[in-house]
Amino acid sequence: MTPATVTPTVPAPTPGGAPADAAPGTGTRVLPPLRIGPLTIDTPVVLAPMAGVTNAAFRRLCRESGAGLYVAEMVTSRALVERGEESMRIISHEPDEKPRSVQVYGVDPATVAAAVRLIASEDRADHVDLNFGCPVPKVTRRGGGAVLPWKRDLFRSIISAAVDAASPYGVPVTVKMRKGIDDDHLTYLEAGLVAQEVGVAAVALHARTAADYYSGTADWESIARLKEAVTDIPVLGNGDIWSAEDALAMVAQTGCDGVVVGRGCQGRPWLFADLAAAFAGSDERRRPGLGEVTAVVRRHAELMIEHFGEESKALREMRKHMAWYLKGYVVGGELRAKLGLVSTLTELDERLGALDLDQPYPGEAAEGQRGRAGSPKRPTLPEGWLASRELSEDFRRALHEAELSVSGG
């Protein structure tokens, strides 16, 4: 991993965000380093937090390929304050991981503050991201996740409580959000300005509403609008970056200060090599043949065993990664299905060994969209949620239950 260092000679950014002489493929870097409070991220690329994916094992593979900031899986503030075993594992980092980045989800300002204080005062991370992006019905039904910023008093209290808890320790707090509830109830511009006002160090926008879920195409235009509105802190763009070229296109189209990449690197941690090259102005791209891919799968499995300390749990967790790793390669239905059912490292070795390891990179078939997709869903909201932008006592009580049922964004 390239450490987070200051690079002294960086072209001055234009008002739109990109340096005047940025020219992809010519060896000129595309953006200046990303500054998140006291942290300097040399390559302005962030691995999106993904529950069930971005644990220490997967982050290591991404870090080894590229450069950037790699956010851990989300943890709920309440579980963290209770020091649950799984929560403590989620926020743990390998000794060489710098900066250490975690994401907290919470609905109650005091609990979020306590969780952030635990992280910062015990030196468990260098960066805390707050999650306001979850579109899952069981969360939005109670007013949590992507529909929470609609209650502007609550949103402001949560983020300022987090900033107040973290700032004595010099730990920057960022916000990750969606555009709003649906196209008629957008919150991102106002939320971005509130975040800037209370001392949040950067904002990231997944350019979809809760109603969009993961459907359609991310609305990069909204990232451009957020960048125009929020001028004092970095604005990061998120949504539908499947390749380094997409990342460059997002920067060019929106003027964002950095990109957040999620599904595009599922089964493709080497995308971070492409991203590092692209942002450094190089055309170099990784195009692994199947032999190379299986070597990464094997290593991922080993790292997962180290992470979970248990072979069966680790291999069970590996199953979902198989389809992502093998997308576009000729594998055969039966073997593909068997790889999705591995239980031991020996089984994994046998099944990987049965593949045609000389198979070259398949091109387009391995590219484009991967991972979660689906159709729009009208968000389930608490009764009367839209009637007011302020939080009533009844909603406050229901929200606590929202935190108990959350699992990812």
**Cβ nearer to ligand FMN, comparing 255 with 409:** 409
Residues 6+ apart with CB under 8 A from 345: 301, 302, 305, 311, 315
CB of 372 to ligand FMN, least distance (A): 4
Helix (H, G, I), strand (E, B) or coil at 182: strand
**Cβ nearer to ligand FMN, comparing 51 with 69:** 51
Q: Tokens 């593979």 belong to which residue?
A: 61
Which member of 212, 240, 274, 403 binds ligand FMN (CB under 6 A)? 240
Give the per-residue contact string, 307-346, with ligand FMN (x = CB under 6 A; - = no). ----------------------------------------
**Cβ nearer to ligand FMN, comparing 50 with 391:** 50
Strands 101-105 and 127-132: parallel
Q: Rule CB under 6 A: say whether 53 interacts with ligand FMN.
A: yes
> Radius of gyration of the chain from Cα atoms?
21
The DSSP line for 190-237 is HHHHHHHHHT-SEEEEESS-TTTTT-S---HHHHHHHHHH--SS-EEE
CB of 239 to ligand FMN, least distance (A): 5
Q: Rule CB under 6 A: say whether 90 interacts with ligand FMN.
A: no
Whether residue 265 lies in the annotated active site: no
Q: Rule CB under 6 A: say whether 50 interacts with ligand FMN.
A: yes
Residue type, 317: E
Contact 133, 177 (CB under 8 A): yes
Which member of 203, 241, 290, 318 binds ligand FMN (CB under 6 A)? 241
Restricting to residues 163-182, which ones interact with ligand FMN according to CB under 6 A? Answer: 176
- Cross-strand partners of 177: 132, 205
Q: Rule CB under 6 A: say whether 73 interacts with ligand FMN.
A: yes
Q: Rule CB under 6 A: say whether 371 interacts with ligand FMN.
A: yes
d(Cα 233, Cα 73) in Å, to the nearest integer?
Answer: 24
Interacting residue ranges for ligand FMN, rule: CB under 6 A: 48-53, 73-74, 103, 131, 133, 176, 206, 238-241, 261-264, 371-372, 408-409
